[in-house]
């Protein structure tokens, strides 16, 4: 039989020594280090590999307390240029002088300071998503600056001093999407990678050339020599123009790294799949979906001829599979190289049927993960775990901690942190051996995601969650799982990666957010890096920046590609330094600020309490608007006044308070709350903003007026609507785009032409209540609607679940909970929230 025997782990390990890819791994120290405290679990030679920062940024000596991050409820606000192109009013000019003078500021910047009475101006949403603020730089610098899709700062005008930052009550931080998919990426294969000899910054468009032979670092200001090789420009094939080389013309570049950037030969792509095959798992049907998806995408897995793939299944015991060349059929043992594709395919075809009649209800997830760690340690790679219930046996077993009666509590929510450190310790061990762990949780019951997610959080993995997954009874979740697997299996991957963020001397980074392990004060360990993960950092101003007009930030990501090449991706962002409070306000990026605050609030809810985190978010708005009022004190005393650039701040914070991660008083399953927290901590900015403040459009009356014309397609551009039921009509159809899910709400009296031509049914009554896709119909209405939805999804890597919601269906509750401007039993409406803010400011 294929499942003939379940052998001991020791026997497996002995057998695998002949099977698994092996290399002499010399990493400059004990390669099996399993340190789990704040010290690095990997030899410190990684520190010298990417090169440290300034010597004074090193870790404090023993006995010296590390600097504490400022408390969360302290200094925040926000703003965004040009949400509305209203004429600049006299009040803005008056305000600019009250705030310290605008000098030669553009009309656009003056508009960002226009006072807005939030209690009177109801329509503050822009008609379409506002672009990020443009830094106030010269055209030459603006052209070569880093894309805001990759690198964003909460303030596009950097305050000269911490005192000025404190006065503005704005948070200073960066949001990064460092490995995102790019259509254009200059790849540089030079033998010499030019870096500052002092702070190790990579040469970039913002350095200055003193002459042909010397360049000045834009971060630490050291003067460096230009190497001979750098004098030749491979693009123009000319000599003597180092300032025209691609490294100095592009703010995002990728270097092919030499052996100087390796601690061992680049590892192969190794993928291990850990599959729950308990009765619960088999009944859900996920195994069929997974096996079919992997069969469909097996040839597209990133890798080369050295790629290895392996499978471990588990219920109350752990089963391994032998896929060695020469066997007629798979045996229960593990890891193959992918050339034995027919065996892998045989196993995938056989797996769903192998456990059909299982009666095993237990889950030994911990022992399965321990086995995976031992299997993968010689090489590193990626472990993908599929789990459908609470682990109940062996190491890492968990008890149910959720009290369903407390799901609607308005008091503090318990058990947001892990019940055991088993999964964190295991993740740190994995990180030390360059193993990333990704978790797919498909469970209708409480599974303690707060504990399980640690295995991905600290190994730079990803977490996916499908509550109430069932391949027959929940088609929307099944379709989402299939789409997610397609992306997950085929997306780019980087192995054995480290990332360091450097900034202009005087600025310092004190807190990191995302999934990683902090290996030293400023080096992030990323056993795997993927193009869908985002990171955030908080910063402070340690020394005055008065001597410089520009501040720069550089992220360097060193990784091994799936083809075994060592590469360094470098992004450099340049922003102006300002001395006036008005300029700080004018340059605030409201979306970046909201995302950074979301990260801080999640940390606060786990380290302190959910109510503390919620209070701190409200205080962020109160502090910001109070600072604005105090520094422009002669403006209208009545009402709730914000500068135009900050007018969406209260709305975004209210939306955050109504997220599953942070809400109270609304029934929220603990695992769903924790998953929402995981998303806020690890997603890129655009995805977070769609989650927090979804986009609502009316789509039954779309016309070609103001439409985009792209590739022979006409793409309507309906305006954004406020997230309130006031904007819904029974005669309309409304699309709500929440990022990972889309709802099409159809009113009871909706135009029958729309229902027939777009949804394919004769009238409202004949619409099914569980429709999860829009059919492809050969009608103008259908083509127009599908073109608009396709355009919305164009830049998405994970496609959303889709639900058609009837006005009278039970599913409409999930639609209405996203209308954040409306009052609920336990939460303010937007207007009530503004009154609450005003009341807090008057205390």
Between 604 and 31, residue with greater pLDDT:
604
CB atoms under 10 Å from CB of 537, counted, come to 23
| From 138-152, 401-415, 440-454, 492-506, the region with the lowest mean pLDDT | 401-415
How far apart CA 106 and CA 206 sit, in angstroms, is 24
CB atoms under 10 Å from CB of 601, counted, come to 27
Tokens (6 digits) for 764:
């409202």
CA dist 404 to 102, 392, 450, 722, 742, Å? Answer: 55, 20, 16, 33, 28
pLDDT at 614: 96
Between 81 and 673, residue with greater pLDDT:
673
pLDDT at 673: 97
How far apart CA 774 and CA 759 sit, in angstroms, is 6
pLDDT at 705: 84
Residue 42 in domain: no
Q: 88 falls in which pLDDT band (50, 70, 90)? A: very low
pLDDT at 320: 87
Closest listed residue to residue 535, CA positions, set 526, 547, 546: 526
How far apart CA 374 and CA 184 sit, in angstroms, is 39
CA dist 454 to 58, 423, 466, Å? Answer: 27, 6, 18
pLDDT at 130: 86
How far apart CA 796 and CA 741 sit, in angstroms, is 12
Residue 443 in domain: yes
Question: Average pLDDT of 285-295?
Answer: 97
Spatial neighbors of 183 by CB under 8 A, at least 6 apart, are none
Q: 712 falls in which pLDDT band (50, 70, 90)? A: confident
Q: 327 falls in which pLDDT band (50, 70, 90)? A: low
Residue 130 in domain: no
Q: 33 falls in which pLDDT band (50, 70, 90)? A: very low
Q: Is 265 exposed, middle or buried (CB count within 10 Å of its CB: 0-12, 13-18, 19+)?
A: middle
* 232 and 280 share one domain: no
Q: To the nearest whole percent, how much of the chain has pLDDT over 70?
A: 85
| From 261-270, 628-637, 792-801, the region with the lowest mean pLDDT | 628-637
* 377 and 439 share one domain: yes
CA dist 281 to 287, 333, 390, 444, Å? Answer: 7, 21, 12, 11
Looking at the predicted structure, is the pLDDT value of residue 621 above 70? yes
How far apart CA 436 and CA 424 sit, in angstroms, is 12
Looking at the predicted structure, is the pLDDT value of residue 674 above 50? yes
* 336 and 242 share one domain: no
Determine the distance from the C-alpha atom of residue 219 to the mean position of all C-alpha atoms in its chain, rounded to a whole number. 27
**Is residue 141 helix, strand or coil?**
helix
**Is residue 577 helix, strand or coil?**
strand
Question: Average pLDDT of 310-325?
Answer: 86
Residue 698 in domain: yes
pLDDT at 18: 33
| From 270-274, 633-637, 740-744, 771-775, the region with the lowest mean pLDDT | 633-637
* 812 and 711 share one domain: yes
Residue-range definition of the domain harbouring residue 196: 190-247
The tens digit of pLDDT for each residue in 527-582 reads 999 999 999 999 999 999 999 999 999 999 999 999 999 999 999 999 999 999 98
* 418 and 324 share one domain: yes
Sign of CA dihedral 27, 28, 30, 36: negative
pLDDT at 122: 85
* 219 and 361 share one domain: no
Spatial neighbors of 168 by CB under 8 A, at least 6 apart, are 75, 77, 159, 581, 584, 585, 627
Count helices and strands (H / E) in the chain.
25, 32
Looking at the predicted structure, is the pLDDT value of residue 67 above 90? no
pLDDT at 325: 67
Phi and psi at 266, nearest 5°, equal -55, 135
Question: Average pLDDT of 689-705?
Answer: 95
Question: Average pLDDT of 626-647?
Answer: 80
CATH of the domain at 213: 2.30.30.380
Determine the angle formed by the axes of helices 670-682 and 590-607, rounding to 10 degrees: 130
The tens digit of pLDDT for each residue in 595-616 reads 999 999 999 999 999 999 999 9
Paired sense of beta strands 733-737 and 741-746, if any: antiparallel
Spatial neighbors of 655 by CB under 8 A, at least 6 apart, are 692, 693, 723, 820
* 280 and 241 share one domain: no
Nearest-5° angle of CA 189, CA 190, CA 194?
125
Paired sense of beta strands 435-441 and 381-387, if any: parallel
How far apart CA 530 and CA 520 sit, in angstroms, is 22
pLDDT at 326: 67
Q: 337 falls in which pLDDT band (50, 70, 90)? A: very low
* Number of domains forming the structure of the chain: 3
**Is residue 713 helix, strand or coil?**
strand
How far apart CA 808 and CA 372 sit, in angstroms, is 49
Closest listed residue to residue 155, CA positions, set 175, 136, 173: 173
pLDDT at 100: 42
Looking at the predicted structure, is the pLDDT value of residue 20 above 70? no
* 221 and 292 share one domain: no
Between 2 and 425, residue with greater pLDDT:
425
pLDDT at 825: 82
End-to-end CA distance of the chain: 76
| Mean per-residue pLDDT over the chain, rounded | 86
CATH of the domain at 777: 3.40.20.10
Tokens (6 digits) for 532:
């869908």
Between 74 and 151, residue with greater pLDDT:
151
Question: Average pLDDT of 750-774?
Answer: 94
Residue labelled with tokens 């924790």 = 674
How far apart CA 528 and CA 210 sit, in angstroms, is 40
Tokens (6 digits) for 384:
């993908």
Looking at the predicted structure, is the pLDDT value of residue 92 above 50? no
* 196 and 320 share one domain: no
Looking at the predicted structure, is the pLDDT value of residue 521 above 90? no
CATH of the domain at 394: 3.40.50.410
Residue 580 in domain: no
The tens digit of pLDDT for each residue in 776-793 reads 999 999 999 999 999 999
Residue 836 in domain: no
Q: To the nearest whole percent, how much of the chain has pLDDT over 90?
A: 71
How far apart CA 573 and CA 152 sit, in angstroms, is 8
Q: Burial code of 366-375, b = ≥16 C-beta within 10 A, e = fewer? A: bbbbbbbbeb
Looking at the predicted structure, is the pLDDT value of residue 502 above 60? yes
* 716 and 754 share one domain: yes
**Is residue 450 helix, strand or coil?**
helix
Question: Average pLDDT of 341-349?
Answer: 87
Between 271 and 114, residue with greater pLDDT:
271
How far apart CA 785 and CA 742 sit, in angstroms, is 14
Question: Average pLDDT of 752-768?
Answer: 95
The tens digit of pLDDT for each residue in 160-173 reads 999 999 999 999 99
CB atoms under 10 Å from CB of 524, counted, come to 24
How far apart CA 687 and CA 65 sit, in angstroms, is 37
Question: Average pLDDT of 369-392?
Answer: 96
The tens digit of pLDDT for each residue in 715-725 reads 999 999 999 99
Phi and psi at 341, nearest 5°, equal -60, -35
Residue 377 in domain: yes
* 360 and 422 share one domain: yes
Q: What is the total residue count of the chain? A: 843
pLDDT at 159: 98
**Is residue 736 helix, strand or coil?**
strand
Looking at the predicted structure, is the pLDDT value of residue 5 above 60? no
| From 398-412, 442-456, 462-476, 550-564, the region with the lowest mean pLDDT | 398-412
How far apart CA 13 and CA 23 sit, in angstroms, is 16
Question: Average pLDDT of 219-229?
Answer: 95
Tokens (6 digits) for 291:
């096996």
Looking at the predicted structure, is the pLDDT value of residue 735 above 60? yes
* 237 and 350 share one domain: no
Phi and psi at 670, nearest 5°, equal -60, -45
Asked if 471 contacts 285 with a C-beta cutoff of 8 angstroms, the reply is yes
Q: 635 falls in which pLDDT band (50, 70, 90)? A: low
Between 777 and 11, residue with greater pLDDT:
777
pTM, 2 dp: 0.88
Q: Is 62 exposed, middle or buried (CB count within 10 Å of its CB: 0-12, 13-18, 19+)?
A: exposed
Q: 181 falls in which pLDDT band (50, 70, 90)? A: very high
Residue 348 in domain: yes
Looking at the predicted structure, is the pLDDT value of residue 124 above 50? yes
């Amino acid at each position: 039989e294929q499942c003939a025997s379940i052998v001991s782990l020791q026997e497996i390990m002995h057998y695998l020594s002949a099977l698994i890819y092996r290399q002499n791994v010399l990493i400059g120290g004990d390669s099996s280090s399993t340190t789990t405290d704040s010290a690095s679990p990997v030899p410190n030679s990684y520190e010298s590999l990417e090169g440290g920062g300034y010597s004074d940024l090193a870790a404090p000596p023993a006995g010296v307390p590390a600097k504490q991050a400022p408390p969360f409820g302290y200094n925040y606000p926000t703003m965004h240029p040009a949400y509305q192109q209203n004429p600049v009013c006299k009040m803005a000019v008056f305000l600019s002088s009250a705030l310290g003078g605008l000098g030669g500021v553009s009309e656009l910047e003056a508009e960002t300071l226009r006072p807005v009475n939030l209690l009177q101006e109801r329509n503050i949403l822009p008609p379409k998503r506002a672009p990020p603020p443009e830094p106030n730089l010269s055209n030459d610098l603006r052209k070569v600056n880093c894309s805001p899709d990759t690198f964003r700062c909460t303030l596009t005008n950097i305050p000269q001093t911490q005192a000025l930052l404190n006065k503005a009550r704005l948070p200073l931080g960066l949001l990064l999407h460092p490995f995102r998919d790019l259509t254009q990426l200059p790849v540089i294969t030079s033998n010499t990678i030019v870096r500052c000899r002092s702070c190790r910054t990579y040469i970039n468009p913002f350095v200055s050339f003193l002459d042909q032979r010397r360049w000045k670092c834009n971060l630490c200001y050291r003067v460096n020599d230009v190497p001979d090789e750098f004098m030749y420009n491979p693009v123009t094939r000319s000599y003597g123009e180092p300032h025209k080389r691609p490294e100095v013309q592009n703010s995002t570049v990728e270097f092919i790294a030499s052996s100087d950037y390796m601690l061992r030969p680049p590892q192969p792509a190794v993928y291990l799949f850990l599959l729950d095959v308990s009765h619960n798992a088999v009944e859900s049907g996920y195994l069929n979906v997974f096996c079919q998806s992997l069969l469909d995408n097996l040839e597209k897995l990133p890798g080369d001829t050295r790629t290895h793939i392996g499978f471990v299944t588990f219920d109350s015991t752990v089963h391994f599979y032998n896929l060695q060349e020469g066997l007629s059929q798979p045996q229960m043992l593990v890891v193959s190289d992918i050339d034995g594709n027919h065996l892998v395919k045989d196993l995938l075809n056989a797996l769903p049927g192998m456990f059909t009649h299982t009666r095993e209800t237990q889950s030994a997830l911990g022992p399965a993960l321990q086995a995976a760690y031992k299997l993968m340690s010689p090489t590193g790679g990626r472990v993908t775990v599929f789990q459908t219930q609470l682990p109940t046996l062996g190491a890492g077993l968990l008890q149910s901690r959720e009290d369903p009666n407390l799901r609607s509590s308005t008091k503090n929510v318990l058990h947001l942190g892990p019940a055991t450190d088993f999964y964190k310790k295991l993740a740190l061990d994995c990180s030390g051996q360059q193993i990333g762990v990704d978790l797919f949780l498909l469970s209708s019951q409480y599974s303690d995601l707060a504990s399980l997610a640690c295995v991905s959080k600290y190994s730079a993995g990803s977490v996916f969650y499908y509550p109430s997954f069932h391949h027959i009874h929940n088609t929307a979740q099944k379709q989402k799982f299939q789409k997610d697997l397609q992306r997950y299996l085929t997306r780019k991957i980087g192995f054995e990666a480290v990332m360091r963020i450097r900034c202009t001397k005087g600025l310092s980074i004190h807190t990191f957010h995302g999934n990683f392990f902090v290996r030293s004060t400023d080096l992030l360990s990323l056993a795997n890096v993927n193009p869908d993960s985002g990171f955030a950092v908080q910063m402070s101003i340690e020394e005055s920046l008065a001597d410089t007009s520009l501040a720069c930030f550089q992220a360097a990501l060193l990784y091994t590609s799936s083809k075994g090449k060592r590469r360094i991706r470098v992004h450099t962002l340049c922003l102006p330094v300002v001395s006036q409070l008005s300029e700080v306000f004018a340059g605030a990026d409201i979306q970046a600020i909201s995302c950074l605050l979301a990260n801080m609030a999640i940390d606060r809810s786990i380290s302190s309490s959910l109510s503390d985190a919620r209070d701190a978010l409200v205080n962020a708005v109160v502090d910001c608007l109070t600072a604005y009022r105090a520094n422009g004190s002669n403006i209208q005393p009545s009402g709730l006044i914000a500068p135009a650039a900050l007018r969406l701040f209260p709305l975004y914070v209210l939306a955050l308070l109504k997220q599953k991660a942070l809400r109270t008083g609304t029934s929220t399953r603990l695992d769903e709350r924790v998953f929402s927290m995981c998303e806020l901590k690890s997603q890129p900015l655009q995805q977070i903003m769609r989650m927090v403040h979804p986009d609502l459009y009316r789509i039954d009356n779309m016309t070609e007026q103001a439409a985009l014309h792209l590739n022979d397609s006409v793409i309507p551009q309906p305006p954004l609507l406020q997230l309130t039921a006031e904007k819904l009509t029974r005669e309309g159809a409304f699309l709500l785009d929440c990022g990972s899910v889309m709802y099409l709400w159809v009113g009871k009296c909706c135009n029958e032409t729309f229902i027939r031509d777009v949804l394919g049914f004769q009238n409202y009554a004949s619409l099914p209540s569980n429709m999860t896709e829009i059919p492809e119909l050969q009608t103008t209405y259908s083509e127009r609607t599908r073109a608009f939805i396709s355009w919305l999804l164009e830049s998405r890597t994970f496609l959303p679940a889709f639900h058609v919601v009837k006005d009278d269906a039970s599913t409409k509750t999930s639609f209405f909970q996203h209308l954040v401007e409306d009052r609920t039993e336990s939460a303010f409406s937007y207007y009530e929230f503004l009154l609450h803010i005003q009341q807090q400011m008057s205390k």
